[in-house]
Amino acid sequence: MTVGAASGEEPKEVDLNLDGSSSTDDATGAPEDTSVGADGGAPEEAAAGADNTETGAGAEPEPTPDLVPPPLPPPLPPPPPVNGAGHPLGPRPPDASQEQPTESAAPAPDEVAAAPDQAAGEVARDREALEQFRVRLSVEEHMTLPGPPGELRVWIGDPDYDAAPASDMATDTTDIPALGQAARVEPFAPAFTLAPPRTECIRIHPSGSEVQFQLTPTDTGVFKVGATVYLFADAGCQGTPIPKSAATLQVEVAVNTAKVVKERSGELGQVAWEKFLEFWGAAVALILAAVLFLLRKTLKRWFGFESG
């Protein structure tokens, strides 16, 4: 369609499109560029963008910021159940007045560093104390004959652990070199019967090792009692022992007169009873013989010896 100009302009041809848009050609007959740019701008901007694309190959277009919607708030928790009075049934909140447990304070670095030194010092003291053993000999000072057997105790250990002996026993101590960790103990006691005569191999502990013996007196008088300790370097008491003598103690064995009289009375009664039985046995035999002698004629008639 050709449209004339009222002021002497050159006529222009206008195409009416079906969508209502129009395009006008100039005198050269070239259609007007009505296309829009890639970013929705004017034709001039689109043309300029095309020129920039041709001249600057590889230039990236400016990124457009993405519109991200803000995050939704978290949903509210459901209300706690309530009882008939409207009070919540959930657990009660903690009471602020209650004391919260406090963590134990860690030891100071100085204390931690001093602990190994203290342990080493204790070990050194133990070794120094074990350079000598203390042998304590305890025995009942008075015994009777006849009477119950007495008791002899031999204790070996660290002198620092030496306990108080029994008050009713005579005691004496001797320090010997700690030349071993095991020992055998053999007491010597004349006029006594020992049970056992010696001990088996015992291990010497710093807190003390004690053995006991029974002494049964065989005679009256005052006797000396002691013990010999055989030390072994081997824990099983193997090898050559190192004998060390303990202290000696005196034990007095007295006669138990009351018991002697009682025993002698018992023995006398036993002898008298035996003799009494022997006498009555002979008396009964004599009586039976006399009765038979007196009744000899009657017995003859009974048994028919007179007719012969």
93-140 pLDDT, tens digit per residue, is 555 444 454 544 555 555 544 554 554 444 444 444 468 889 999 988
Q: Count Cβ atoms below 10 Å from residue 49 Cβ, excluding itself.
A: 15
pLDDT at site 66: 60
| Cα separation, 66 vs 228, whole angstroms | 104
Bigger pLDDT: 45 vs 291: 291
Strands (E), the chain: 2-3, 12-16, 22-25, 132-140, 142-145, 150-157, 169-177, 182-188, 192-195, 202-203, 209-217, 221-232, 242-245, 249-255
Please state the φ and ψ torsions of residue 203, each to the nearest 5 degrees.
Answer: -90, 135
Under CATH, to which class is 129-255 assigned? Answer: mainly beta
- Cα-only R_g, the chain: 64
| 231 pLDDT tier (thresholds 50, 70, 90) | very high
Over residues 204-226, the mean pLDDT reads 88
Tokens of 14: 């206008």
Please state the φ and ψ torsions of residue 285, each to the nearest 5 degrees.
Answer: -65, -40
Over residues 137-163, the mean pLDDT reads 86
Could you tell me if residue 249 is left (phi over 0), alpha (psi between -120 and 50 degrees) or otherwise beta? beta
Tokens of 305: 């010896």
Is 50 exceeded by the pLDDT of residue 57? no
Bridge-based pairing state of the strands 249-255 and 142-145: parallel
- Give the chain's mean pLDDT: 71
Over residues 238-267, the mean pLDDT reads 78
pTM: 0.46
Tokens of 170: 């005579």
pLDDT at site 308: 52
Is 70 exceeded by the pLDDT of residue 54? no
Bigger pLDDT: 124 vs 282: 282
In contact, 5 and 11? CB cutoff 8 Å: yes
Which residues on adjacent β-strands are paired with residue 217?
192
- Min mean pLDDT across 78-92, 114-128, 142-156 is at 114-128
Please tell me whether residue 71 adopts helix, strand or coil conformation. coil
Give the closest residue to 154 by CA, choosing from 224, 221, 225: 225
The domain limits of the chain are: 129-255, 258-303
Supply the DSSP symbol for 161. Answer: G
| 201 pLDDT tier (thresholds 50, 70, 90) | very high
Is 80 exceeded by the pLDDT of residue 88? no
Q: Give the percent of the chain with pLDDT over 90.
A: 8
Is 60 exceeded by the pLDDT of residue 34? no
* Range picked from 75-79, 108-112, 199-203 for highest mean pLDDT: 199-203
Over residues 6-29, the mean pLDDT reads 48
Bigger pLDDT: 205 vs 45: 205
pLDDT at site 267: 83
pLDDT at site 60: 57
